[in-house]
Amino acid sequence: MDTPAIPLPRDPRERAILDQLSMIRDQLLLLKQDRTNYIRTQDVMPLFDRTMDQVKELNIVRAETGNKGENRLDKVLESCFQLLSLFYLTIGRNNEAPATYALTSTIKRLLDHLVEADLYSAKDLGSIKSTLEGLTHSIQHGSKEQVPEKKPPPYVITLLFNRVELCQATLAKLQKRLERVPESLLSTHQKLVSILRAVALANTKSKFSTSEVKKLRQQIVEIGDRYNGGKFTAEDGTVVPGSEEVRELYQRCLKWSDLVLERKGVVADQWRPIYDVLVGIRNDLEKLSLTQAWSLRETDLYDFQRQLDKIDESRQNGNWLDDRARPADLWTQRTLLYLIRRSYGYIYSFMLASEPVSEALLPIYNQLQTLKRCLVEVKKSGGVSSVRELYPYSMKLNSLDNMKVDGKFVVNGDIPEGQGSVSELLAECFDLNYDLRVAAEEANEAGSPEADGEVDGETKAEEKAE
């Protein structure tokens, strides 16, 4: 899409479809950039339907011509699918099949990088495995959807199934390799992976800390010392099957920490521009991770993905070339790849954390999430000594409940997606608040008669307020 190296379609009918998809993509981008209004289901679905019409037409054309080669049309179509998938997350339709497209793109990137880096732990694979199982369930549910307007076309279901299966095949290969690590050394293997990543993080901080990296290196040495000086054999010196995997990782950790200490975070001038871009993306995503629930619109992830994809795909034989066609040195290559993988990891976590609630309802949902956390903490700490302490929570819950019109939360005349999730959370908060009030009343009733009278008065006042 961004480079002339990707040819235009030769078939005039494909060119016409390209023109239509380009207009749809531009409209999606404009909708994404509009911060003055909430994104609504009725804004997204017509664009989804128009995209599906073009895909249907494309399938007919290619069935006739037999063309399977990729051209610019495929790139623009991929952008449309990616954007629409993120829009589905934004409007709260997370559990529907089209929403899985963007997540499968990120998972594939992560898996490909794990294969390339040959550096991962059982924990990494466990998360991806459970996510893929959830995506499979969503796609299967979509294929059996009874509501016509919610049922995706068969070719979309097939596309999504194929993407998930591709990810699962790569995951299976990674799991098979990890099986070679003996169970007795799995925790050690995971610890070494964790330390190596900590060294990579220290390597990309704005101010390099030699002492921090030296401490991490010392942890690596200490692990080796516990296993016969890094040989990872049994106590009697015999070789444990699979221990060579851990031994290689141990040696790799030592060499990487030495290389990091040698370079001290100094980036060569020819690689500084790409390094600064990647550090900027990583830092922006890191900041978003602190305020995600309140500030992230899922469609924002598209721009980050596109920048990362472009940089990642600019490599040749796994490495970057400078203006004079010279490959990056080992430290630069690994540092840039770490930044890319770290950023993809953030995007993956954001998509997983996305709530099945429309952007318009998120402010209410987030307030309820905060209220629930507060009430749970109050309950954990022993409850309240007086019903009066629950007044702020009761008033807030009632003010949110009073926003409903005929049992629905209405925003600007619309009934946004995610009503069930918000109502369920509101009910949980009311239940927690009620349990705390009952416990406080019972505790006071067991006390002095004066206390009983005080509680009765407070309870009546609260009931009147409600």
pLDDT (tens digit, 9 = 90+) per residue, 237-255?
Answer: 677 787 888 899 999 999 9
Q: Identify the band that residue 164 occupies on the pLDDT scale cut at 50, 70 and 90.
A: very high
For residue 4, pLDDT over 70 is answered with: no
For residue 147, pLDDT over 90 is answered with: no
pLDDT (tens digit, 9 = 90+) per residue, 181-212?
Answer: 888 888 899 999 999 999 999 999 999 999 99
Torsion of CA 346, 348, 350, 351, to 10 degrees: 170
pLDDT (tens digit, 9 = 90+) per residue, 384-397?
Answer: 888 999 999 999 99
Q: List the one residue out of 132, 170, 162 whose CA is nearest residue 348.
A: 132
Which pLDDT does position 447 carry in this prediction? 67
Q: Identify the band that residue 1 occupies on the pLDDT scale cut at 50, 70 and 90.
A: very low
Q: List the one residue out of 144, 89, 137 whose CA is nearest residue 348.
A: 89
Q: How many Cβ atoms sit within 10 Å of the Cβ of residue 50?
A: 16
For residue 149, pLDDT over 70 is answered with: yes
Q: How far apart are the first and last CA of the chain?
A: 58
In the chain, % of residues over pLDDT 90: 70
For residue 295, pLDDT over 80 is answered with: no
Q: Identify the band that residue 461 occupies on the pLDDT scale cut at 50, 70 and 90.
A: very low
CA–CA–CA angle 448, 453, 459 (5° rounding) = 125
Give residues with Cβ within 8 angstroms of 9, minimum separation 6.
Answer: 15, 17, 18, 71, 72, 73
- Kindly state the average pLDDT of the residues 414-442: 93
Query: Which residue has 């034989």 as its token pair?
Result: 317
Query: Which residue has 């290969």 as its token pair?
Result: 173
Report the alpha-carbon distance of residue 257 to residue 291 in Å, rounded.
32
Which pLDDT does position 446 carry in this prediction? 75
Which pLDDT does position 148 carry in this prediction? 75
Report the alpha-carbon distance of residue 205 to residue 279 in Å, rounded.
9
* pTM: predicted TM-score of the whole model, two decimal places: 0.87
Which pLDDT does position 229 carry in this prediction? 76
> CB of 265 within 8 A of CB of 208?
yes
Q: List the one residue out of 258, 247, 239, 132 whose CA is nearest residue 199.
A: 258
> CB of 349 within 8 A of CB of 404?
no
Which pair of structure tokens corresponds to residue 260? 């990091």
> CB of 39 within 8 A of CB of 49?
no
> CB of 459 within 8 A of CB of 441?
yes
For residue 434, pLDDT over 60 is answered with: yes
